Chain A
Amino acid sequence: DAGITQSPRHKVTETGTPVTLRCHQTENHRYMYWYRQDPGHGLRLIHYSYGVKDTDKGEVSDGYSVSRSKTEDFLLTLESATSSQTSVYFCAISESWGAEDHFGPGTRLTVT
């Protein structure tokens, strides 16, 4: 299995609180991605990174921010969580753009 982990795997939080999800890879891949998966919508790209401190917005970036201070770590932050951000969040990595080679196991986030 590819070395990609996510933490936490499950989280329940209250509306208005900040939340940070972590993705860690041991593959030294250049690209890292954050997706959310919701019934009927499939996977939607939130943000992605093409290198240390290099990030860009995806399809559904509002309400989310990201940071990548090291090649191996990509953080997703919800500054003030809302119920609409209840979802399963997946991190993915790839060596080149456009073919996510490996996905993490996912983080199930519930905002009450």
Chain B
Amino acid sequence: TQLLKQSPQFLSIQEGENLTVYCNSSSVFSSLQWYRQEPGEGPVLLVTVVTGGEVKKLKRLTFQFGDARKDSSLHITAAQPGDTGLYLCAGENNNDMRFGAGTRLTVKP
């Protein structure tokens, strides 16, 4: 059973489209991270959010932490083929770190 549920599992879109992926849990987290992973490589940290309601922007990526610190979303504006990858969320609480299974995004040119 996945403590962190990510949706959708798979997403295939055309270049230029916008998209949102979600990370949901019934547990409260002290902090939540988003990573991007490419085939054959380790995950790369994109952002850490720690405050309920927090919004962080990284170029075309917008990350939001839910008010109750149980969920998060990642919105990508005008997706590009270089955004293709596996997006993972991870939550930390009480020295316990859990990852979601990820959303595999494909952006077609």
Chain A interface residues toward B at CB < 8 A: 33, 35, 40-45, 56, 58-59, 90, 92, 97-106
Chain B interface residues toward A at CB < 8 A: 2, 4, 30-31, 33, 35, 40-45, 48, 88, 90, 92, 95-102
Provide the residues of chain A in CB contact with B30, threshold 8 Å. 98
Known interface pairs A97-B95, A100-B33, A101-B45. Does A40 touch B101 (Cβ–Cβ under 8 Å)? yes
Q: Please count the residue pairs between chain A and chain B whose beta carbons lie under 8 angstroms apart in the complex.
A: 56
Known interface pairs A40-B101, A42-B99, A59-B98. Does A97 touch B92 (Cβ–Cβ under 8 Å)? yes
Provide the residues of chain B in CB contact with A56, threshold 8 Å. 95
26 A/B residue pairs, CB under 8 Å, sorted by A? A33-B97, A35-B99, A40-B101, A41-B101, A42-B4, A42-B101, A42-B102, A43-B90, A45-B98, A56-B95, A59-B96, A59-B98, A90-B42, A97-B95, A98-B92, A98-B97, A99-B45, A99-B48, A100-B43, A100-B90, A102-B45, A103-B42, A103-B43, A103-B44, A105-B41, A106-B42
Provide the residues of chain A in CB contact with B33, threshold 8 Å. 99-100
**A27 to B100 CA separation, bound complex (whole angstroms):** 27
Closest to B97 in A: A45
**A84 to B96 CA separation, bound complex (whole angstroms):** 23
Closest to A44 in B: B99
Provide the residues of chain A in CB contact with B43, threshold 8 Å. 43, 90, 100, 103
Provide the residues of chain A in CB contact with B92, threshold 8 Å. 97-99
Closest to B92 in A: A98
Give 8 new A-B contacts, CB below 8 A, not counting A43-B88, A99-B48: A42-B101, A44-B99, A90-B43, A98-B30, A100-B43, A103-B35, A103-B43, A105-B40
Known interface pairs A42-B88, A42-B102, A43-B90. Does A100 touch B45 (Cβ–Cβ under 8 Å)? yes
**A30 to B38 CA separation, bound complex (whole angstroms):** 26
Closest to A50 in B: B95
